[in-house]
Structure 1
Amino acid sequence: MKKLIICLVVAILCLLCYFLLQPIFIYNFGWNPFSVDHKSRNEVIYDSSFANSILQAQQFIEDSITLKTPALSVAVGIDGKLIWASSSGLANIDSKIDATPNTAFRIGSTSKAVTSIGLGILLEQSKLSLDDTIHSSIIDKSITIKQLASHTSGIRNYGMCFCFPVWEYYNNDEYASIEAAVKVFNDDPLLFETGTDFSYSSYNFTALSAAMEQAAGADFTAFMENNVFHKAGMTNTSFDKQFVNVDKAEFYDIQTNIYKKAFEVDNSNKWAGGGMLSTPSDLVKLGNAILNGSIIKHKTFKTLTTPVKLANGEVNKQNYALGWRAHEFDMLAKKVNIVHHGGTATGSTALWIIIPEYNLTAAIMINRSVEGFPMFDMLIPMVEYFITDLKANH
């Protein structure tokens, strides 16, 4: 009997360890041989006057692809028009399904930039002000909308929890409401006095989306769909739920010449900050709408993309604005201001940029996780081809 009890205890402890540390256990099993084949390409050329740029960009992808990703998708827009969209590789390795420009990827934290446009709409409607303190029914701390959107609130990021699995980043519980997701971190102390420092945390945008929901008088996801996605013509953008009506890629982990499907997660704890699905073409459509002032005013976008200063008067360490980063890049022998946001998610990586000086927007996505963030090295050289062509011929 004693041996039986010991065996049962050991079995229970083993099961408990498995469910607590499930991502680690799963990561080490189920790998399959993988080889990159980017010969399959689906593209749409919307403006043939940029044929030279497009040819150079295509060649750049073929010559310099080092990410070993199943699929890569990219799109470029200029002067309010979608110029080019191209997808290479496989959306689903096992089923041999090619990626197309309509294939949706997880965009991770790039969701924050999309959410900021919804915030801009509410600001213009005077339903929210950046200096508004979020309602006590959302979170029991005195934090402003501006502090949430700029990561200067002091709210912590993902951590460990008494949950299965033990890491909040790999959440696979479905939250019934944003309020329920906020409760995960609501009782935790702030990392610093609000406004005095910067600490990047997607939970800021979870709280922000609750405030937006209250101000709009509508479910956050419905508000974004009706006021941002539909208005910008984003037909392949949605929230990463189990059943969504979009052509969604499969998401992968890659190691040298092997692959496996990424750990299954539920993103209902971070819709606004990291839970959207989209395509490069859809982000470019939204970028075009931003640049031509048809979705929010240029003045509002300037507010959203101006890096926020801390209480000491210094700009925060990431040049972070309200859902965007803003930096000067060396492009074609000159400094160019680019507003941007990248995102990493389980099995997917994305980058969206807007260059107001050239009225240009572009996005790139892959269906694999990567270490570091190499997306600028892929997207910026391609964008330079279009800028060169734009200067020469348009």
Structure 2
Amino acid sequence: MAHTQGDTHGRLILHRAKQYVRVTRRKKPKYYVRHADMHPLANAPFVDNSYKFAGGGIVSTASDIAGLAHHCILGDFFKPHIKRLMLEETTYTQDIPDPQNPGFYLFIFLKKKRIYISEEKKTGYGKIGWRVVYDHKKRLKLAGHSGGACGGTSHVVVIPDEELVVCILINMRANPQICYEIAQLFSEKEILRWVPFRNKQN
């Protein structure tokens, strides 16, 4: 982490890239826009990232971030029980209509309050922000993380079975799919089928 430091206002950082945003017709910058090539680029507005040092707000390089991800997921940076806790997929409980209940369809017909049951669903994220994908044997197939601020984006993905780590830094807000597409070039696994994407426009 030789090239990683806090992003404090006023500090001049050598070789730092200029940050940009896409501007819509309303002249307001947007993070993700459809048909991005149709919206002109503009300089990103000033943001003081020192307010979020607890959860980010740092300046780094792709090699530093990739090295950190390698030590966190593949190395011994954390003790085994801490790593398991960090990568354990979280779940949430959602109430859904119960079609097995005899009164379910009657309640729908009368437009009254439905009868619900609780269903546990997976979030796709670990307990400390890592995006995780497991196979049917509960083995970790993929771990990824993204971050960013106004005019900047970082994405890192780790494939444990192949000891593959890919990290990209982009000087504007962009969809994380590009990081998985780059990882796919170096992997024989179907990475792009593991992670769904809501917006495929960069």
Task: Give the alignment's TM-score, normalised by structure 2.
Answer: 0.60
In 2 relative to 1, CA 360–251 (structure 1 residues): closer, same or farther, beyond 3 Å? same
* Aligned: 1:375 with 2:161: no
- Corresponding position of 1:308: 90
Aligned equivalents of 2:12 and 2:130: distance in 1? 27
Indicate whether 1:361 and 2:169 are aligned. no
Instruction: Indicate the SS of the match to 2:183.
Output: helix
Residue identity in the other structure for 1:284: A
Match of 1:239 in 2: 6
Q: Which of 71, 92, 116 is 1:289 aligned to?
A: 71
2:157 touches 2:180 (CA, 8 Å); kept in 1?
no
Q: How does 1:252-263 map to 2 (within 5 A)?
A: 252-255=20-23, 256=38, 258-263=40-45
- Offset from partner CA, 1:106-153 (integer Å, 9 cap, x none): xxxxxxxxxxxxxxxxxxxxxxxxxxxxxxxxxxxxxxxxxxxxxxxx
Distance 1:354 1:313, change over 3 A: farther
Runs ≥4 residues deviating over 4 A: 310-313
- Contact 1:320–1:326 (8 Å) recurs in 2: yes
Alpha-carbon distance in 1 for matches of 2:121, 2:59: 31
Q: Distance in 2 between matches of 1:321 and 1:315?
A: 15
User: Matches of residues 118-197 of structure 1 in structure 2 within 5 Å?
Assistant: none
CA–CA distance in structure 1, aligned partners of residues 180 and 14 of structure 2: 28
The match for 1:350 among 136, 154, 165 is 154
C-alpha deviation, 1:279, in angstroms: 1.8
What is the root-mean-square deviation of aligned Cα atoms in Å?
3.1
Q: Distance in 2 between matches of 1:261 and 1:340?
A: 28
Q: Which residue of 2 aligns with 1:327?
A: 133
More strand by share: 2
CA separation in 2, counterparts of 1:244 and 1:298? 39
Q: C-alpha distance in 2, partners of 1:292/1:361?
A: 10
Change in 2 beyond 3 A, CA 1:275/1:315: farther
More helix by share: 1
How far off its partner does 1:291 sit?
4.2
Q: 1:267 aligns with which of 42, 49, 52?
A: 49
Contact 1:236 1:247 survives alignment (8 Å): no
**How far is 1:304 from its partner?**
0.6
How many residues matched? Answer: 147
Instruction: Find the counterpart in structure 2 of residue 337 from structure 1.
Output: 141
Residue pair 1:350, 1:363 contacting (<8 A) in 2 also: yes
Distance 1:342 1:244 in 2: 25
Give 1:245 deviation, angstroms. 4.8
User: Which protein has greater RCO, CA pairs closer than 8 Å, 6+ apart?
Assistant: 1
Q: Which runs of 5+ in 2 are unaligned?
A: 24-37, 94-117, 189-202
Q: Distance in 2 between the 1:244 and 1:328 partners?
A: 42
Larger CA deviation: 379-388 vs 273-282: 379-388
Match of 1:143 in 2: none
Q: Is the 8 A contact 1:253 1:368 kept in 2?
A: yes
- Correspondence 1:203-214 to 2 at 5 A: none
Secondary structure of the structure 1 residue equivalent to 2:173:
coil
CA spacing shift, 1:254–1:367, aligned 2, 3 Å: same
Distance 2:122 2:55 in 1: 19
